[in-house]
Structure 1
Amino acid sequence: MTLTILVAEDDPHTRMALAEVIGAEGFQVIEASDGQQAKNLFDNEPPDMACLDIMMPGISGYDLCRHFRKQSPTMPILFITAKAEEIDKVVGLELGGDDYIVKPFGTKEVVARIRAVARRCFPPKPESGSVPFSDAPFEMGDLEVFPREMRLRRDGETVALSRRELLILQTLASRAGEVVSRAELFRSAWEEDHFPNSRTIDQTISQLRKRIEQDPKNPSIIQTVYGVGYRFDPQTPATGNTEAGNLE
């Protein structure tokens, strides 16, 4: 599995134990020893899920949750903490936590809860291989896309598309003007037995941009919304996008 999980825990023994058991299940783990490091890791490259201690030096798990939620509204967040009072759980869940695990914890319980949250937040597509879009041609900026032909055209030039690239473009075009999260793009364009991985999506978008953007470093068709996902804005001129940066 390729789901990337951030583990933020200031106690080294607990952090190592969590990283070991989560990594043994096939997840990719990135570790943070305090709240500031966790924030820096998230801001540099958002993970797919986060497991947060609450009482950490510098920035608490509660404050991290607030920050993560502003940048990535759909990313699953689990609290793993010694704070066992009911009010602590209520605060954590109301801030946007998807689950709350109290220390000491059983390793099997942690893994089971992570998998449960992953299934809930990254559900498989109803039908593997189905394309929930019309075959009718559509436009994206100065591109004209022909789904039945698996290609697009610009100024007489033709570019062949893979099925995954076509699904990405169809997803963004169908949500024109809206931000589409990485998880949503993954559900639309990848097979159901894959877990979302932000780098996989970003690399695919980067390669697609090189083929369809007039200026891949200043994209106008596929715009990056940092920390959340991507957007196609029909109002953006073909000369490029100056609002949202490029992650690549």
Structure 2
Amino acid sequence: MAQPTSLPNHEGKQVPDVTWPMRSGDDWSKMSSKTLFAGKKVVLFSLPGAFTPTCSSTHLPRYNQLASTFKKLGVDEVCCMAVNDTFVMNAWLADQEAENITVIPDGNGEFTAGMEMLVDKSDIGFGKRSWRYSMLVNDGIVEKMFIEPNVPGDPFEVSDADTMLTYLAPGIKVPEDVSLFTKPNCPFCEKAKTLLKDAGYEYEEIILGTQATLASLKAVSGYDTVPQVFIGGKRIGGSDELEAYLQGV
């Protein structure tokens, strides 16, 4: 894979002035970088391509997961950019169910070139793509950049969501992952969801019968009743156990 010859840091500089064609439903529109960044605090991470392994398994999902935490810290928008067209980026966003992320299709690579992050990946059939990086932009000015090291391959060491979060709030306690197994029309499940919301937890709901089976629940938890709540990889239990847990936190 081709290696970049240089990776300039643009901290303190204005972001490139670029307009991107966007597709929403059956309609075309345009978004400018001025509109995206003006008067706002934006976290943007850029990656080699939609549907590629690291981008799909880790990079995008973690930013989507922490988007609400970023917003509590004053970030107005979390954006993902790639040198892909708008159809590809929209399809990837839908496939990832990353509703907290704004995707930017830098299909012609103009913004990426302006950031001096456009690299040649022709040896793997990609053509020109973005080097992996992330940045915090304040009112169009780059405050901070995390650029992956200039080594062969596709390094993923510093442009991740947790590194950006630590920069914004050193010492912050990263929110724990919460999963909740439920089934429709279950009052105890509704109680558990209310308890989590009131305590400020975001959670992934796994609905039996649509996303999982009772056998799956028993295999994971050892129990065949709902709700079953897991926080930080630890089984908490049902709604009463969750209530007791939250009172002790």
TM (normalized to structure 1)? 0.27
TM (normalized to structure 2)? 0.27
Select the structure that is richer in helix.
1
Query: Greater RCO between the two (CA within 8 Å, min separation 6)?
Result: 2
